[in-house]
Structures are given as C-alpha cells and as structure tokens.
Amino acid sequence: MTVVTVAFTSMGYAANEQYAFVVLEKKQVRILISADAKNEADDDFAIVHALLTPSFKVEGLLSAQYSRTAPYFGIDASETSTKSYEEIQRVLKYMDMKVPVALGSQQALKTQPKQDVSAAAQMIVDEANKKSDLPLYVLVMGPITDVALAYQADPSIADKITVLWIGGSPYPAGGWEYNMYNDPTAAKIVFNSEIPLWQIPHNVYMTMRTSMAELQHKVKPQGAIGEYLWKQMIEFNDFASKQLEDTSWPKSEVWVLGDNPSISLLLATEVYDYTMQPAPLLDTETLDYLENPKKPREIRVYNSADARFTLEDFFSKLALFNEKK
C-alpha cells in the first residue's frame, strides 16, 4: 500500500472572537471537508462558511479530483486533485488560517477499484480512529472518491463517521449529475457500504441560487477573503461562459452556491425535509438508480434545504469575520 505524503500545516481553527454567543464544546462536531475546489467556483464559499462556523472543529481539508469533467473545460485531467489542493491552500492564506490539508486521489476509481490509499483517504481513516467524544462528519463537496478509498482501507470506519454528500440526481430515477459522474464507482461503493450517508441531490443543492450582483454587494467588500472569493468567481464565470458558449450554463449573472447546504444541514438537521430510503443500486454507466433486490441499508436523502438560512448565515459570518479583522 502506497501512501501519498504531503506536508500538513499546524492545526488551527477559525477565530470565533467575532461572535457574541458561545457554542459549548459538547455541542460541537468534528468535520473533514473533501472539496474539488478548483473544478469551478462554489467550493471556496462552502469551505469559508465551514471555517467560520463555531459549531465545527475543522480537523482537515481534503483535495478532491475532477478528472472526468476537466476535459469539458480544456483542462489537463492528470493532476486535478493537486489543483484543488493548491486552491484550498490559497483560501487558507487569504483567511490567515492554518488547517491540515491532504492530497486526494488524482483519478476516479476503476471498474476494479483497488487503488493506492490517498493521503486524504488516510486522513479520514486516522481521524475516524481517534478517540473523541465528538462525532465526526465528512462533508463531501465533489466526487466521493477518497471516502470510498478510506472505507476499502479500513471498513471499520463505517460506524465512526457520517458522510454528507453533495451529489447525485433526484430520486427515484437518478441520472447524470456532475459529482456523481466524476466517480460513479466510488458512489456505488459508498451506497453499498454501511457508512451513514446523508445525500443532498441536485434538485436540493440547486436551490442555493444567488446573483452576481448579490455577491458583488455582500461578498466582495469583505476583506481579503471576500475579494478573493469574488475574483475567482468572476474569473471562472467569464472562462466558463466563453468555453461553453453554446450551452445554457453558466447564465452569466446567476450562480448557485451548491456546496453550502452541507454546512447548514449539519447546523440544523431537525428542521430539514428528508426521507429515509433504501440505498439504490447504481448503474455506473447511466448513473440511474436501480432497485436493490436484496434488503439494502437505508440512507438519508434530502428533499429540500433552506436557502435563506444557508446563504444569510454565510453572508453574516463573512461580514462579522471581516469586521473583527
């Protein structure tokens, strides 16, 4: 077994002096964040949101690959996880924070998905096996590759973590969806595992609509990190608009902060609309959900999320962070 070695920065968490309220330690949760941060522009917003959330102890950030969709944008598909790793480090630099960052697998899992354990997967295993009174959640904002690799390396982690995944098309049919497409084999492994899974499908995360005007007004003025979030959004929006000029996406002045529900759903799980349902069999070619003839375990599938709460919580935390700095 080969483990990719990366240099971790020293542990650090978001400075919470800007808040006039206290979160008791016993009400906090440990989290790891897996993000394909350089695939487009919304991951950075969710990473910042999580780092500014005092209910979260962010134990590490994991860079995720996007090798199957990179060619759509004319991007080299060989080292997309490295691009995500570098982007995560840029976000931390602009926030003046230090958090461990682990490099994820560079490629989607193959049909016979035995692969070396990535540093990101190893971080999941190591964090899951730490003794702590606080539960561990893995927020996956891209393909679920490194969670699948972690599970293959140590199946015992299944009862030590809960995974929130932004990915998959609506039920019951399924079908093509960006994060699912970037590693359907990994998705199938996690569906078939015993890992508690909260799935936030396309019809839910797409409700996190905002406008470029709103981002210019509420994000751009908020210090170095606000300026950077705005800049990288504008740059990608312009790039994608030219690269995909014959398609309806992107819409130039509308965007979706589709990864941020992983933060808000974990903050207020009791107020959201979800269904417990049998984990599907996944057709890894069509990405359709198929009925499992065996009695499968159940997963939590969200039917909606509160866009107002999600986006306003992010905007408010960003503004308070800048005000304190």
- Of 114, 124, 49, 41, give the one whose Cα is nearest residue 84: 41
Give residue 15's pLDDT: 43
Provide the strand spans (E) within the chain.
29-35, 56-63, 101-103, 136-140, 162-166, 197-200, 209-211, 254-256, 274-278, 281-282, 289-290, 298-302
Using CA atoms, how far residue 58 sits from 50, 176, 240, 250, 298, in Å, is 8, 31, 31, 31, 27
Q: What is the pLDDT of residue 157?
A: 98
- The per-residue pLDDT for 295 is 87
pLDDT at 294 over 90: no
- Residue 193, sorted as left (phi over 0), alpha (psi -120 to 50) or beta, turns out to be beta
Which pLDDT does position 113 carry in this prediction?
57
Residue 2 has pLDDT above 50, yes or no: no
pLDDT exceeds cutoff 80 at 301:
yes
Residue 293 has pLDDT above 50, yes or no: yes
Assess if CATH 3.30.460.80 describes domain 25-209+257-324.
no
Q: Which residue would you say has higher pLDDT here, 112 or 74?
A: 74
Alpha carbons 91 and 100: distance in angstroms, whole number:
13
Question: Where exactly are the structural domains of the chain?
Answer: 25-209+257-324
Taking 70 as the threshold, does the pLDDT of residue 177 lie above it? yes
pLDDT at 237: 84
Q: Which of 5-9, 153-157, 275-279, 299-303 has the lowest mean pLDDT?
A: 5-9
Would you say residue 64 has pLDDT above 90? yes
Average pLDDT score over residue span 40-51: 97
Cα–Cα distance measured from residue 272 to residue 125, given in angstroms and rounded to the nearest whole number? 29
